[in-house]
Structure 1
Amino acid sequence: MSAQKLDITRLGGQGDGIADTSNGPVFVPFTVPGDTINAAVEKGRASLMAVLEPSSDRVTPPCPHFGPDDDNAGCGGCALQHVADGAYRAWKHGLVVAALKSRGIDTDVAPLVACAPGARRRVVFAARRTDKGAILGFNRASSHQIVPIDACLVATAPINQGLPGLRRLATAVAVGKEAFRFSVLDAAPGFDIAVDAPFSLKEPDRLRIIAAVRAEPTVTRLSFNGEILIEKQPPELSFGAVIVNPPPGGFVQASNAAEQVMGDLVSAHLAKSKRVADLFSGSGTFALRLARHSHVHAVEADGPSLSALDRAARRTLGLKPVSVEKRDLFRRPLMLSELKPYQGLVFDPPRAGAEVQVGDIARSTVKRIAAVSCNPVTLARDLEILIKGGYKILSVTPIDQFLWSSHVEVVALLERPKR
């Protein structure tokens, strides 16, 4: 490892600054294009030692937990708090543009829909038992070390206000020495907590945790490795005007504001479709909005999520018929003949995208498609398949659901031109 003076010229895909050297690019976390720095370099990566000349786009991070690893910072939750807002938004917008161009897709990309601090309603903490109780926080980048936090700028106000109680519950849960995941969903009427741990509970542990939850008025449910230990009242989320009781640990969009933007884009695009297929539907983020105007068939591999969608649809007045199908679309995608009844379709797959399923969609007669993704790279691949199948991109909208991170949500709207 050697100390070198470096000029940072651009940001990489994960938010690290990049310096071009005679030995190739060097990636340096916590730097900004325009910085001149001293860094300890080893095999293409470096640790920031000192900023010699700061970039005009360098700002003071608003969170005391952000920064290089030291005693007071480096929680690993955010990567880009030190970058000025304009440069940050341009970089995140550029991630989508670059992904599309890599697939030869030349289309306009709408301005980035911004995310405000305090919008994250779903937060996954790391926790571990100590002699003084449980540590509750986030893992440092590339580390299993948990940095305890007193507040998180991206989390909702109720989550921040509830941190003392959440820490008490984490202490009650921490019966093993191993670290565990402590997921918190800010729902109504209180927090829905899902614990994923590499240890098991004995009956006294279960009773103690249940008693601890009863003592916390802000917590409505706690599950341990998928099993509900206590549910004072089913947690509720609103998908449009439909109330849903999500399953323990089930996938929901991280930000309610971002979900509203995505829901509005998808709903407007598919509003004139009499029959719509919602693939990778989850608990109904899009299906239950679309059912206001369309017959919807929701397909999802996760049974509890699909059951939550079905229950919500059945008890809500004013919806068009909603049918559900439990199906792994990676192993068994909807075939061409099965897609024939639909005029509209939305798909929102995991980060791996929906390459096999999209192959069948590209050959279908579905008129309007909404493609939603948290990974611009796999989305661009899937869009290329659809374009080759005759679809035309109408719009691409990046949404900053994960503030100060390298992740960006994207909604692409497509249409098959009349033949």
Structure 2
Amino acid sequence: MLTIESLTHLGMGRASDGQSLLPRVLPGEEVDVAQDGTVRIVTPSVNRVAPPCRHFKSCGGCAMQHATDAFVADWKQDIVVKAVQARGIDTVFRDIATSPSQSRRRAKLSGRRTKKGAIVGFHTRASDTLVQVPDCRLLTPALIDSFPALEALTVLACSRKGEIDLTVTEASLGPDVLVATDKELTPQLRVELAGLANQFGLSRLVWNDEPVVMINPPAQEFGGTGVVPPPGAFLQATKHGEATLLAAVEEITMNANRIVDLFAGCGTFTLPLAKRAEVHAVEGEVAMLDALDRGWREGHQLRRVTTETRDLFRRPLETDELRHFDTAVIDPPRAGAEAQIETLAASEIKTIAMVSCNPVTFARDARRLVDAGFDTPWMQVVDQFRWSPHVEIVASFTRK
């Protein structure tokens, strides 16, 4: 018998034998592990609950449905707190903000043909076995309603032995679907796909990198401004999470006159901030900035927005370029923004709003700013990826 001593940042239980990492267990539990690796809970934790989703045992999409919401919230907050404290940073943490169930508006699913039709869903943990999830507790009802369309797409796009990826995003006028497949897009297949899109009310259907049909522009709203993102473009996972992050960024930048938005994407922060300040949006993907620019030009009562396509990992904005701005917003990928943080630290910018999806690189970058003379009065953890190990962080940095 083993006792679970703690959880890793990925939600795996560290057992008392000093070597076992076990899934779906909780600290303090006593467990038996069979020779085939099956874990039996002997003494359950007081924080253990019945999973709210009937697919939890077979699906690999969630890791923490067996724990109370309060436990998961504390565990996620603690991951970030420990990462920050390990870098010697002292700050105040606001209460964690957790997105509700059935609020994930974008998902990457897999599809596989069967003798009777098709399966669309998620893989089981550490396996290529595909599980249907018609009652998924993560996805919005609109995404669940798109499953028949995705199954029909799988029949057309997939060979009998292959598998395809389906990225589906909720849009107001119908699902926005990107298909990743090795199958050739023939003229006849184009006709069939167009018919399928009309039948199921898809707003846009893209085959690999090639648009097949757009019945309605799949616009997303950023602060009331409509933007049509390029297929598969980054989007905050939930509207709740996006609103929470935006509220924090707006609070941090409330006194700004000229803002530089680094890793701006399609304008999640740029366009709402442009209601009261001039914004320069910098992003490495041309298509995202084109979408942002079109949204701004068609928007109402927005101040000046300029865009710049630039690889901020290889060519960060230098201090002489940053002197035109009093405030920076930065939301880098998981790798963080070490090079750009260096130039921000050396610049004269007074205020920085930093958003991150990786506690380790966030803490590293935050330490550099603190060393350069910034205070960090508060941080907040945002849980858009409910029941998973993933977290978002937003933090305020003000130069002393």
The counterpart of 2:148, out of the listed 153, 158, 164, is 164
Match of residue 91 from structure 1: 75
Q: Hey, what's the Cα distance between the residues in 2 that align with 1:231 and 1:386?
A: 45
Secondary structure of the corresponding residue to residue 215 of structure 1:
helix
Q: Does 1:37 align with 2:18?
A: no
SS of structure 2 residue aligned to 1:229: strand
Q: How many residues align?
A: 400
Answer yes or no: is the 8 Å Cα contact 1:277–1:344 preserved in 2: yes
- 1:14 corresponds to: 10
Residue matched to 2:51: 61
TM-score by length of 2: 0.97
Question: Contact conserved, 2:227 with 2:292, CA < 8 A, in 1?
Answer: yes
- Equivalent residue number for residue 37 of structure 2: 47
Aligned equivalent of 1:28, options 14, 19, 22: 22
Matched residue of 1:151: which SS? coil
1:329 positional shift? 0.5
User: Structure 1: 5+ residue runs without aligned partners?
Assistant: 68-72
Distance apart, 1:175 and its partner CA: 4.2
CA contact (8 A) 2:5 2:27 kept: yes
- The answer to whether the Cα contact below 8 Å between 1:134 and 1:174 also exists between their aligned partners in 2 is no
* Percent identity between the two aligned chains: 39
Question: Deviations along 1:205-236, whole A, 9 cap, x unmatched?
Answer: 2221221111112x110111121111001111
- Relative contact order higher in (CA < 8 Å, ≥ 6 apart): 2
Range that drifts further, 31-40 or 198-207: 198-207
Alignment of 1:69-218 (within 5 A): 73=58, 75-175=59-159, 177-217=161-201
The correspondence for 1:301, drawn from 284, 287, 298, is: 284
TM-score (norm 1): 0.93
The 2-side partners of 1:300 and 1:371 are apart by 15
Q: Deviations over 1:285-318 (max 9, x none)?
A: 0000110111100000111111000000111121
Tell me the residue number matched to 2:387: 404
**Structure 2 residues not aligned, in runs of 5+:** none
Contact map agreement 1:242 1:316 (CA 8 A) in 2: yes
Conserved 8 A contact 2:257-2:277: yes
Aligned match for 1:310, one of 271, 293, 306: 293
Is the 2:313–2:337 contact (alpha carbons within 8 Å) kept by the matching residues of 1? Answer: yes
Q: Is the 8 A contact 1:178 1:199 kept in 2?
A: no
Using the TM superposition, give the Cα deviation of residue 40 of structure 1 relative to its aligned residue in structure 2, in angstroms.
Answer: 4.0
Residue 47 of structure 1: how far off its partner (Å): 3.2
Q: Which residue of 2 aligns with 1:70?
A: none
Cross-structure match for 2:320? 337
Tell me the CA shift for residue 369 of structure 1: 0.3
Residue identity in the other structure for 1:310: D
2:219 matched to 1:225? no
Q: Counterpart of 1:352 in structure 2: which amino acid? A: A
Deviation (angstroms), 1:166? 2.6
- Runs of 4+ displaced beyond 3 Å: none
Q: Distance in 1 between matches of 2:261 and 2:160?
A: 41
CA-based RMSD of the aligned residues comes to: 1.4
